[in-house]
Amino acid sequence: MKFIKLENLQHVLAILVIFLMLISLMVVYTASARYSEILSSKNDAHDFALKHASRVVLALFIMLVVSNISYEKWKNYTHIFMIISIVLLIAVLFVGVEKKGAVRSLNLKLFELQPSFLALLTMILHFANLVERKGERTKDLKTGFLPMISWIGLIAFLVFLQPNFSQGMVIILVGMSLMFICGANLKHITFTTLSALPFLIFYVFSADYRYQRIITHIERIFSTSLIDSEQQVRYSIYAIGSGGLFGVGVGNSRYRELFIPEAHTDFIFSIFAEEFGFVGALILISIYVSIFVIGVIMIRKLQNTYAQIVTAGIIISMIIYVLANTLVVVGALPTTGLPLPFMSYGGSSLVIFAVATGILLNFASTLKSETQNNLVSFTYHTDVR
């Protein structure tokens, strides 16, 4: 992306994210129409699509507002954000909405908030604040490592109780990645990881459905036929394959007809690939890669440690969601239930990722200011000479 000027990164990032949201309007509608017509409370084919549209509008508004708020105004309150997230994670266990045997969200009327998404973002913001304030002390076991690993452990534990193993693992992966980036002792990270493995393995095999999901996935790996695969994964692969090079066309998906349960959520990529083909899927992945590259450029060019760490955390979390979702729909990972950022139907992930993008846009706007300041400084020194 050398052809993109530094001061234009903000606009490019905004365009890419807005494009994803607008594309999602079309894909969610085509993927959910049949499901919505038969199973929604209103028996209306447009029900889920209209709800998603309202959430996209809300997300765009929030992204615009957040992008215009300087991070200097709220970064010292990240510990309060963390406490609020913890309270919400506890509250959801008692007053949350139960779906499919799990209690993961709070009903906010406009959408159902999953506090685990909020907790992930606030954890990133708080870690960045800790590192900036503590500096080299972050590498110390008592003053740096233990406080950060305690936050990760507490949040992940509360998410596991919902139960939501996949989201809990995302929190652990993002948290540990940030600790590594921030210079935590590799021995501490390795010891903690090895110590936590027995507990994670016990948790996975403590529930029948999690155990069966992993066994089914292992059997699929060693099977030469898709017939024995899990139904939604099998049809997901069929859908992607039937898309061919250029797809079957918008609205012409055959596998949305209840072959893939709730195709508008976790398996939205399958319907997209079927309707837009290999070329469309490649373009979609390229957009996510471009967002990642923009994030890397920002990390290198930003002058503020806090902004660098927050950017790293947000980009890492996005790439984990994209990888997890796309690898699941092609059968490379067990079914996780993780959304595709900005594309999947749902309020929590869309709104929280909009907040995260707004923060990145605010950071990117400082790059423009820094570029101008550097130019002014260079001109001043030249004139003096």
Each residue of 180-196: pLDDT tens digit?
988 888 898 999 999 99
Backbone angles phi, psi at 31, to 5 degrees: -80, -25
Has residue 14 been placed in a domain? yes
The separation between the first and the last C-alpha atoms of the chain, rounded to the nearest angstrom, is 35
Structural domain span for residue 282? 6-374
Residue 383 located in a structural domain: no
Residue 379 forms part of a structural domain: no
pLDDT one-digit tens code per residue, 28-59: 999 888 877 776 667 777 888 999 999 999 99
pLDDT (0 to 100) of residue 260: 84
> Rg of the chain over CA atoms, in angstroms?
22
pTM above 0.85, yes or no: yes
Q: How far apart are CA 286 and CA 68, in angstroms?
A: 27
Q: What is the pLDDT of residue 92?
A: 94
Domain assignment present for 1:
no
CA separation for the pair 305, 310 (Å, rounded)? 9
Cα–Cα nearest to 100, from 164, 38, 159? 164
The residue with tokens 């765009």 is 60
Q: Which two tokens stand for residue 67?
A: 């992008």
Q: Are 290 and 148 in contact (CB under 8 A)?
A: no
Answer whether residue 384 is part of any domain: no
pLDDT at 379: 38
Query: Is residue 240 within 8 Å of 274, Cβ to Cβ?
Result: yes
Q: Give the contacts of 214 (CB within 8 A, at least 6 positions apart).
A: 204, 334
Total domain count for the chain?
1
* Dist. CA 314–CA 356, nearest whole Å: 7
Residue 342 reports pLDDT greater than 60: yes
Residue of 62 and 334 predicted with greater confidence: 62
Q: pLDDT above 90 covers what percent of the chain? A: 56
Residue 323 has pLDDT above 90, yes or no: yes
Answer whether residue 18 shows pLDDT above 70.
Answer: yes
Q: Residue 149 burial by CB count (10 A; 0-12/13-18/19+): exposed, middle or buried? A: buried
The residue with tokens 């699929």 is 220
Q: How distant, in Å, are the alpha carbons of 99, 180, 191, 237 from that of 187?
A: 40, 11, 6, 41
| Tokens describing residue 62 | 């929030």
pLDDT of residue 38: 76
Taking the C-alpha atoms of residue 94 and residue 112, their distance in angstroms, rounded to an integer, is 15
The token duo for 191 is: 């010891």
Lowest mean pLDDT, pick from 65-79, 208-222, 370-384: 370-384
> Residue 276 domain-assigned?
yes
Within-domain flag for 250: yes
Residue 282 lies in a domain: yes
Average the pLDDT over 107-124 and give the result. 89
- Confidence band (pLDDT; 50, 70, 90) for 259? confident
Q: What is the pLDDT of residue 4?
A: 62
| Mean predicted lDDT score pLDDT of the chain | 87
Relative orientation angle of helices 305-329 and 268-301, to the nearest 10 degrees: 160
